[in-house]
A and B are shown apart, each in its own frame.
Chain A
Amino acid sequence: MVDPRRYFDEIELGEEYESPGRTVTEADIVMFAGLSGDYNVLHTDAEFMKQTIFGERIAHGLLCLAIQSGLFTRATAPYATLGFGGLRWKFKAPVKIGDTIRLRAKVVDKKGLDKPDRGQITLDRTILNQRDEVVQQGQTDLVVQKRP
């Protein structure tokens, strides 16, 4: 069987990907509040939020961060990922119910790690909304297997 995954050696600096869009719904926010236990009024109290600069409930920042992680798997062929190393991230603008977000990503660094069977791939990632506004942006480090 052909392994569809791409190994560290095959991923090139400068590769760029763009994911399909995903509309963030009220159901996504309610489910995420239930799953995470984060019931901050920002995400759960429509009446309170009418009085704020946002005017309505906004999605949890981490919900959109998690959604982009899923969108990445739909943006390109899967990497032979062993794990997630870390991230440096900025939340720049709110995502509201009904907004459609998508991910744009670019490989900006590759380096070997102590264990010879793996390397680290760093990606610049930008989450854009339907108006092409940047809502979140940062870098993620993925630990990717080398071709055995």
Chain B
Amino acid sequence: MSAATYFEDVVVDEVKFTPAVTVTEAHVEMYQGLTREMSATPSHVPDVLPLCLVVGLGWRVKEPPMAVQAFVALDWKVVKELRVGDTMHSRSRIISKRPMRDGGLIVDERTILDQHGAVVQQGRFTFLVAKRQKETSA
């Protein structure tokens, strides 16, 4: 059975680092074919692509992923452009949790860093995360 981190088990202020991914020409080509979002400069990665990749990287930490029921909100800043060939990884820090009747809201501050440790993009994801007792079919 796939394990998940439920609302009750999310620890505020916990920091996690993800593995890294080198952003290639192939990522950019696939992404542009899918979305048609172009980059302002050809050697730069389209700005929403690192944001998409960071969510996937979040699944590659050793702890089980949060039982996300919905992505509620996003507040995001682009600090620096990422170039094709750069290697990005990310840091996640849970900054708040608020219980609701069904599940609860988790605010996760994500930072994308490049191979030199410079901040590339940063912001806050708000997720609706399931509570443990809701799990009946697992």
Q: Which residues of A contact B (CB under 8 A)?
A: 28, 31-32, 35-40, 42, 51, 60-63, 65-67, 69-71, 73-74, 81-91, 94, 138
Contacts and interface: CB of A to CB of B under 8 A. Distances in A.
A73 B37 contact: yes
Nearest to A22: B36
Given A35-B27, A35-B31, A37-B56, A89 B74 contact: yes
B137 A36 contact: no
Interface residues of B, number: 37
B118 interface: no
Contacts of B47: 83-84
Contacts of A37: 53, 55-57, 59-60
Nearest to B55: A38
Q: Which A-B residue pairs are the 5 nearest by beta carbons?
A: A37-B56, A70-B36, A84-B47, A86-B77, A61-B71
Contacts of A85: 77-78
Contacts, number: 107
Interface string B98-125: 0000000000000000000000000100
9 contacts: A37-B56, A37-B60, A60-B55, A65-B51, A66-B48, A70-B35, A83-B40, A89-B74, A138-B74
The dominant DSSP class at the B interface is mixed
Contact of B34 (A40, A65, A66, A90): A66
A83 B76 CA distance: 14
B3 interface: no
Contacts of A91: 70-74
A36 B55 CA distance: 7
B30 interface: yes
B1 interface: no
B78 A86 contact: yes
B57 A66 contact: no
Contact of A36 (B36, B37, B52, B70): B52
Interface in B60-87: 60, 65, 68-78, 81
A38 B81 CA distance: 23
B38 interface: yes
A38 B59 CA distance: 7
Given A69-B48, A87-B74, 15 more contacts: A28-B34, A32-B34, A35-B52, A37-B56, A37-B59, A62-B71, A65-B51, A66-B52, A67-B34, A67-B36, A70-B36, A73-B37, A83-B78, A86-B76, A87-B75
Contacts of B73: 89-91
Given A28-B34, A73-B38, A62 B52 contact: yes
A102 to B, nearest CB: 14
Given A32-B52, A37-B60, A66 B76 contact: no
